Amino acid sequence: MRDYGQEIAARIAALPQVKDAGLDAAAVAEILEVPQDAAMGDFAFPCFRLAKAMRKAPQAIAGELADALSPDSCGVEVVGAYVNFRLERGAFAAEVLAAVREEGAAYGHSGLGGGRRVIVEYSSPNIAKPFHIGHIRSTVIGAAIARILAALGYEVERINHLGDYGTQFGKLIVAYRRFGSKDEVEAAPIATLLKYYVEFHKQAEQDPSLEEEARAAFAALERGAEAERELWAWFREESLKEFTAVYDMLGITFDSYAGESFYSDKMRRITDELAAKGLLTESEGAQIVDLDDCGLGKALIKKSDGSTLYITRDIAAAVYRKEHYDFHKNIYVVASQQDLHFRQWIKIVELMGYDWAHDCVHVPFGLVRLADGAMSTRTGNVVFLLDVLNQAVEKTRAIIVEKGVLTDDAAEDGPAVDEAAAEIGIGAVVFQELHNNRIKDYVFDWDKALNFDGETGPYVQYGYARAASVLRKAEGMGLSCNNGDTAALTGDAAFALLKKIYELPQAVREAGEKYEPSLLTRHVVDVAQAFSAFYHEERILSDDPTERGRTEAKLALTAAAKQAIGNGLALLGVAAPERM
């Protein structure tokens, strides 16, 4: 489909006055605007930057440029210091509808990535700890980024870098041996393991020697001691059962579950290489890389007892991934609290002489907090994610039954309600998460998560279902979704909807380039709102034979809106119910 913005930029850049001012098409495209007020046109070029070079007032320059631009598919007019452009609405409608109809589920996708391989690491919960609401950010944001990049033509490897190694396992082993019960763990694995972990920290406050005992247990695990390794494997297996249940509810999959333990035999190579390249320094019996000159402090690589840390394993993982996958980008969707950690190990990889170090990208996000404070597995102050999703479904089912919100011939009980409750309830939680700018902290609130009004998942899903309902009724009337008479789509509501559908590919591209799913989430809201305005302002269905051409054009626009909303929701990981 034509890129009208680029075409207009090229036309402006071809003018001698603009060339003389040193602006090429790319520079013009950067300053080309879309007016907030649609009455001012569809694109606007501000002339302020030309004033110095042309030694004229911006208003005079705008008039001169408008006179020099020959109209084609865009009308040209002067508004103050701006040259404004108006699209020919009928032709625009025909082009947008044809593109959506032809591309279908691939509308909004592109070949931008050119098949280059990118790794997206996300979710990465800790084994033997609850999968709580705090994990939703990495899980849902990372999955959306992976889908968006795949839609942009990248070959995506989805990695769940499980936290299945580290000193916390020493603590859990000690806790289990001191006051654990196999029967208790098997009856309620994650809740019990969390209880043991919390109790360990309570007892360690009174008996600091427990911390040393835990470090010794982890060191034994690193050496491959059979007893410690058997307990570790058991904890891992039980935890994965709960993780899988959550991923299944969210419709999220991974290509690899290679966690920290996968790199346990690959770290010696890294420490040896750091030593050989003169980067390791001994400090109080520990091994560090001094990054003070880079403003990053000192990075601890190996503790005095010989055990390794997250940073050692992350360096080993990055080297392995480059050699194994030859990635274009290696993306880590990890909380902003870990910013220094990523800056340190990426700098170390650079100092090791690997020129791909800056292809490793940390995509940070803010924290989720409860209304009464931050969550902590040490104190047990957590909200389990599985409970959140189950409650979302239960609450949604109650709303559906109470208000009778299913459309058309869907039954008000039984499988139809159960399916709708799962799609809408889980979709509400996911959509709320992705609607927030990822870098901002936010407070998890049930009322907000399950609010069915405003800029929410249920609102967008309802827009999709409403479009589906209109199209089913049209089919029953013997009407088709051919373009028909596109002159019927030149009204303001129809044209506003067409523009939002047209802009979907750009929203997908920007969300991928900035690793920011909220840009796509908000655009899908815009499409749904524009469709709602069109639905209320235009009479879509008519059985008047003389209106058939206009009716079928409106149905074509309805089908395009449904497709655009559905495609956006699919990239976000939110279901698109046909009935709601």
Give the pLDDT confidence of 46-68 residue by residue, as tens digits.
Answer: 999 999 989 999 999 999 999 99
Give the confidence band of 73 by pLDDT, cuts at 50, 70, 90.
low
Q: Span 271-281, mean pLDDT?
A: 96
**What pTM does this model have?**
0.91
List, in sequence order, every residue forming a beta bridge with 169; answer none if it has no partner: none
Residue 230, pLDDT score: 95
**What would the pLDDT profile of 424-462 be if each residue is shown by its tens digit?**
999 999 999 999 899 998 887 767 766 777 899 999 999
Is the per-residue pLDDT at 242 higher than 90? Answer: no
Residue 316, pLDDT score: 96
Among 56, 109, 129, 523, which one carries the catalytic annotation?
Answer: 129
Q: Give me the percent of the chain exceeding a pLDDT of 70.
A: 94
**What would the pLDDT profile of 518-555 be if each residue is shown by its tens digit?**
999 999 999 999 999 999 999 999 989 988 999 999 99
Is the per-residue pLDDT at 299 higher than 80? Answer: yes
**Distance from C-alpha of 270 to C-alpha of 290, rounded to nearest angstrom:** 16
Q: For residue 432, what are its two tokens?
A: 């709320």
Lowest average pLDDT, out of 118-122, 205-209, 234-238, 471-475, goes to: 234-238
Residue 409, pLDDT score: 47
Is the per-residue pLDDT at 413 higher than 60? Answer: no
* Backbone phi and psi for residue 332, each to the nearest 5 degrees, phi listed first: -115, 115
Residue 487, pLDDT score: 87
Asked if 77 and 86 touch (Cβ cutoff 8 Å), the reply is yes
Among 109, 135, 329, 435, which one carries the catalytic annotation?
Answer: 135
135 part of the active site: yes
Query: What domains are defined for the chain?
Result: 4-87 (3.30.1360.70), 117-265+309-369 (3.40.50.620)
**Distance from C-alpha of 297 to C-alpha of 244, rounded to nearest angstrom:** 38
Give the confidence band of 370 by pLDDT, cuts at 50, 70, 90.
low
Q: Span 349-372, mean pLDDT?
A: 91
Residue 482, pLDDT score: 78
Lowest average pLDDT, out of 168-172, 321-325, 336-340, 344-348, goes to: 168-172
* Backbone phi and psi for residue 163, each to the nearest 5 degrees, phi listed first: -80, 75
In whole angstroms, how far apart are CA 476 and each of 314, 471, 480, 481?
A: 59, 9, 10, 13
Q: Span 26-32, mean pLDDT?
A: 95
Residue 385, pLDDT score: 87
* Other Cβ atoms closer than 10 A to 108: 26
347 part of the active site: no
Is the per-residue pLDDT at 372 higher than 60? Answer: no
Among 52, 56, 109, 132, which one carries the catalytic annotation?
Answer: 132
Lowest average pLDDT, out of 17-21, 55-59, 112-116, 379-383, goes to: 379-383
Residue 442, pLDDT score: 83
132 part of the active site: yes
Residue 414, pLDDT score: 62
**Distance from C-alpha of 251 to C-alpha of 139, rounded to nearest angstrom:** 11
Residue 225, pLDDT score: 95
Q: Give me the percent of the chain exceeding a pLDDT of 90.
A: 73
**Distance from C-alpha of 3 to C-alpha of 426, rounded to nearest angstrom:** 36
Average pLDDT over the chain reads: 91
Q: Could you give the count of Cα atoms lying within 13 Å of 154 in the half-sphere of its Cβ? A: 22
Residue 222, pLDDT score: 82
Is the per-residue pLDDT at 265 higher than 80? Answer: yes
Q: What is the DSSP letter of 486?
A: G
Q: For residue 351, what are its two tokens?
A: 């100092």
**Distance from C-alpha of 197 to C-alpha of 235, rounded to nearest angstrom:** 12
Asked if 246 and 147 touch (Cβ cutoff 8 Å), the reply is no
The string of DSSP codes covering 467-483 is: HHHHHHHHHHTT---S-
Q: Tell which residue, 118, 116, 117, 121, has the closest CA to residue 258.
A: 121
